[in-house]
Amino acid sequence: MPLSADDIRAAFAALSEELAREGERAEIIVAGGAALVLLYEARKSTKDVDAVFLAPEAAVVRRSAERVADRLGLPNDWLNDGAKGYFVGISSGDVLFTTSSLSVHAASIAQLLAMKLAAWRDAVDRSDAKLLLAHLPRGNKDEIWKSVEAFVPNADLNKASYAFDDLWEALHGT
């Protein structure tokens, strides 16, 4: 079931209610397609919300998210931390949703771009990466790569570097 920006916001509101009922406060960093849907309306929907759960422990957030899934008829993994292994460090970007019981930020633009470059799977990654690169602060190629490189997993540095070079050339020439 595709999730639109409105669907995701409604799910976050329901998650906030669930957490408040439990007396909990959660902090979440969102990446992937959901961040792009919420930040830039880069596409109409995404299949899930990839996140890192900063607080409280992940099991609390997962239980609350499962109750939201049941309540709203969403897939059980609508909110998941399966992408946590792709995070190199954690950077907090724009606020996506906030209440007294839930704080949701996007990862920084540099980190979102690093994750796209490291994955570099298909046309969606390419178009998402172009959008993210356009939203990074201005700078020369080396300065921008340096801001992104810190968030790329070591095992993916070569692929990400080649993808960045290709992307830079497509947008700015050589």
Report the chain (174 residues): mean pLDDT per 10 consecutive residues.
Answer: 93 98 97 94 87 94 97 96 88 96 97 94 84 90 96 95 93 80
Q: Report the pLDDT value the prediction gives residue 121, as an integer from 0 to 100.
A: 84
Residues shown for the chain: 174
For residues 89 and 116, membership in a common domain is answered with no
DSSP 65-119: HHHHHHHHT--TTSEE-GGGGG-SS--EEEEEEE-SSEEEEEEPHHHHHHHHHHH
Range of the domain at 73: 3-107
In this prediction, residue 84 carries a pLDDT of: 85
Amino acid code (one letter) for 122: D
Task: Say whether both 137 and 165 belong to one domain.
Answer: yes
The confidence score (pLDDT) of residue 86 equals 83
Distance from C-alpha of 92 to C-alpha of 32, rounded to nearest angstrom: 14
Co-location of 132 and 47 in the same domain = no
Other beta carbons within 10 Å of 25:
15
- Tell me, yes or no, whether 19 and 72 share the same domain: yes
173: left (phi over 0), alpha (psi -120 to 50) or beta: left
pLDDT of residue 145: 97
C-beta separation of 147 from 110 below 8 A: yes
Do residues 11 and 67 both lie within one domain? yes
Instruction: Say yes or no: 37 and 72 in one domain.
Output: yes
pLDDT at 158: 96
- How many domains is the chain built from? 2
What is the CA 55 to chain-centroid distance, rounded?
17
Q: List the one residue out of 50, 52, 40 whose CA is nearest residue 5.
A: 40
Residue 46 has a CB neighbour count (10 Å cut-off) of 22
Closest listed residue to residue 7, CA positions, set 98, 68, 95:
68
Domain boundary among 83, 107, 131: 107
What confidence score (pLDDT) does residue 168 get?
Answer: 93
78 with 140, same domain: the answer is no
Per-residue pLDDT at 172 = 86
